[in-house]
Structure 1
Amino acid sequence: MRALQYRSIGAPPEVVEIDTPEPGPGQVRLRVTAAGLCHSDSFLMSLPEEQYIYGLPLTLGHEGAGVVDKLGEGVTGVAVGDSVAVYGPWGCGRCHECAQGRENYCRNAAALGIAPPGLGAPGAMADYLIVDDARHLVPLGDLDPVESVSLTDAGLTPYHAIASSLGKLRPGSTAVVIGVGGLGHVAVQILRAVSAATVIALDTDPEKLALASEVGAHHALVSDSSAIERIRSLTDDHGADAVFDFVGATPTLEIARAVVATDGDIQIVGIGGGVLPTGFFSTPFGATVRAPYWGTRSELIEVLQLALSGHLRVHVETFSLDDAPEAYRRLHDGTIRGRAVVIP
């Protein structure tokens, strides 16, 4: 089969021919129908050799959807021909967090060598994908896999962050979304669907600000030195009850710190390398700073239900597997509008 692999530190990924995998006991093989690209992949491929821990060669793709193609011994709960999405943050399945479906916070995954597809285990940028357990598959129903595959990360990750701040997003509240690219434009839609908050979107790219307005942002502002004053003005100097930073760089975290309200939330979702000091004389009284990771299995089901009900739509650009290296180049350059999806 064909697969897109990261094979050498610092080199671009390559499309290669490898053996088609066979499912072992308890495993499921999917014929991949769609695989999403993510900035996490670019981050991974930018790491120097001394920091890279994901193994080589690595088949990329932690956002995956497919049709069940073959079952390993003992598998129940899914059938050949089922159209499914893959829940990516695999855990041990036995600890307290996993028992709640919170495998994104599994206590044992690192020690046991359990890694997500595309982030240590072979990923979805291939003709076929082995999924370690049927519990990591969620039925897609009538959803188009190409349009919905990105929801497994670009939908689930913002949903998880927003869900933990919903108590702050009452009528009359304000939410700020910093960075309205692949995850941020989905976050705007989720906020509009599940909360009564006024949504303010920030970005430096006019195209992305236009997209934010298209998908429901009440205000779309350029993320520059004037943004803090504008947000303060829009909130009668109260500030934002929740700030979701999908960039995570030092300048955007400074904006988050400057605009969050007393007792508000800052959710640092982006992996831009910034660090935000918190405490007295840094953040307002009662403000919470959190770095959430991915989301839970039950939250993925809820995200897909939002899509089924028409409240959520990912704007995608599609690429063939042969064109996937070019898609990653465009992702790195910031010229993808919404999310990039590879169709093997």
Structure 2
Amino acid sequence: MDTLSRRTKTMAAAVVTGPGTIEVRQTELPHPGKGQVRIRLEGSGVCASNLTPWSGPEWMTFPTEPGGLGHEGWGVIDAVGEDVQGFAPGERVAALSYHAYAEHDLADVSAVVKLPPALDGVPFPAEPLGCAMNIFRRAEIKPGQVVAIIGIGFLGALLTQLASRAGASVIAISRRPFSLDVARRMGAAEVIEMDDHWQIIEKVKALTQGRFCDRVIEAVGKQWPLDLAAELTCERGRLIVAGYHQDGPRQINMQLWNWRGIDVINAHERDPAVYLQGMREAVDGVVAGRLDPSSLYTHRYPLERLDEALDATRDRPDGFLKALVTYA
């Protein structure tokens, strides 16, 4: 069933035409195939994983497909394809789709979650919220544990909130004073400026009476934070890699990892069903009050200013945590 196409056959979509440049074009309205829904998008989150293709590496092909790179959309279903059950036009949903920098996108029903009335009017980039829930689950954080979180951006702030509300004592480590203030608001017991490697180690050692941390979540995606994370993990502790390490190989101190008996968790999921599980848990968590991301959406842009949103995600001006692109 496709009611909108009776009135219009085009939509606005952003096209990345080259490194650091976009155009918003009128393009053909997509039609849902078997097992798909079409979503009239209200908005999409801007993901840091976009920054590498945005910079124009050799392997990148321009122009992108209309709406390409966007994958954190939410909105209202306006058409359903063949054999779709359990979803209907008019229902508000969030989805893991792949052309969400546009007014409409298609998504397989296996990648769509319903948004209950309690979330009416609330922006909901479900993919990063679901990632936070999946990382938290993989970390196996328990009451009374000491948890260090390295890197307080959007993801680190969410994990600080989840861990502190689970009864853990959180040590938040970040380079920006603004981020440390956010960590305090999210429930961190201690905050440490990320400036000097050995001073940070000594501060955490003192805070933990020499034991270090039961769980350490690395949420930056660079070599130094990964090195630091290992140093802060206690014997038989768990190091959780949440940073997006896609800019080159890494070296590790295997001697330290081995000697301390560290469990290392790569928290990047690749199973679509696990993505969906995390997204559902995020919906439940926000409705129940276990997770409140509302103050972390710091910057909002219309679609025609997507380039500014991507630049802000790269440059992280003071006060920046998460950009949303919203559509009228």
Is the TM value for this pair above 0.5? Answer: yes
Which residue of 17, 21, 29 corresponds with 1:20? 29
2:135 match: 161
Where does the alignment leave 5 or more consecutive residues of structure 1 unmatched? 89-116
> Separation in 2 of the partners of 1:28 and 1:154?
21
1:342 match: 325
AA aligned to 1:333 is: D
Q: CA deviation at 1:281?
A: 4.0
Q: CA deviation at 1:278?
A: 5.1
Which residue of 290, 312, 319 corresponds with 1:311? 290
8 A Cα contact 1:238 1:261, kept in partner: yes
**Does structure 1 residue 242 correspond to structure 2 residue 225?**
no
Within 5 Å, give how 1:191-340 maps onto structure 2. 191-193=163-165, 195-225=166-196, 226-272=199-245, 273=247, 275-277=250-252, 279-294=254-269, 295-314=274-293, 315-316=296-297, 317-335=299-317, 337-340=320-323
Q: CA deviation at 1:282?
A: 4.5
State the SS of the aligned residue for 1:212: helix
1:124 match: 100
Hey, which of these two has a bigger chunk of helix by percent? Answer: 2
Equivalenced residue count is: 304
State the SS of the aligned residue for 1:342: strand
> Separation in 1 of the partners of 2:259 and 2:75?
46
Relative to structure 1, the CA distance from residue 47 to residue 261 in structure 2 (aligned partners, 3 Å threshold; closer, same or farther) is farther
Relative to structure 1, the CA distance from residue 177 to residue 79 in structure 2 (aligned partners, 3 Å threshold; closer, same or farther) is same
Q: CA deviation at 1:305?
A: 0.8
Which shows bigger deviation, 256-265 or 15-24?
Answer: 15-24
Q: CA deviation at 1:170?
A: 3.1
TM-score normalized with structure 1 length: 0.82
> Separation in 1 of the partners of 2:144 and 2:162?
17
Q: CA deviation at 1:136?
A: 1.5
State the SS of the aligned residue for 1:312: coil
> Separation in 2 of the partners of 1:146 and 1:331?
24
> Separation in 1 of the partners of 2:78 and 2:113?
15
**Does structure 1 residue 184 correspond to structure 2 residue 193?**
no
8 A Cα contact 1:178 1:252, kept in partner: yes
State the SS of the aligned residue for 2:21: coil
Q: CA deviation at 1:147?
A: 4.3
Where does the alignment leave 5 or more consecutive residues of structure 2 unmatched? 1-10
Relative to structure 1, the CA distance from residue 323 to residue 144 in structure 2 (aligned partners, 3 Å threshold; closer, same or farther) is farther
AA aligned to 1:182 is: F
Identity %: 26
AA aligned to 1:287 is: I
2:8 match: none
TM-score normalized with structure 2 length: 0.86
8 A Cα contact 1:203 1:209, kept in partner: yes
Q: CA deviation at 1:137?
A: 1.1
Q: CA deviation at 1:176?
A: 0.9
Relative to structure 1, the CA distance from residue 162 to residue 154 in structure 2 (aligned partners, 3 Å threshold; closer, same or farther) is same
8 A Cα contact 2:15 2:63, kept in partner: no
8 A Cα contact 1:31 1:68, kept in partner: yes
2:75 match: 66
AA aligned to 1:57 is: E
State the SS of the aligned residue for 2:133: helix
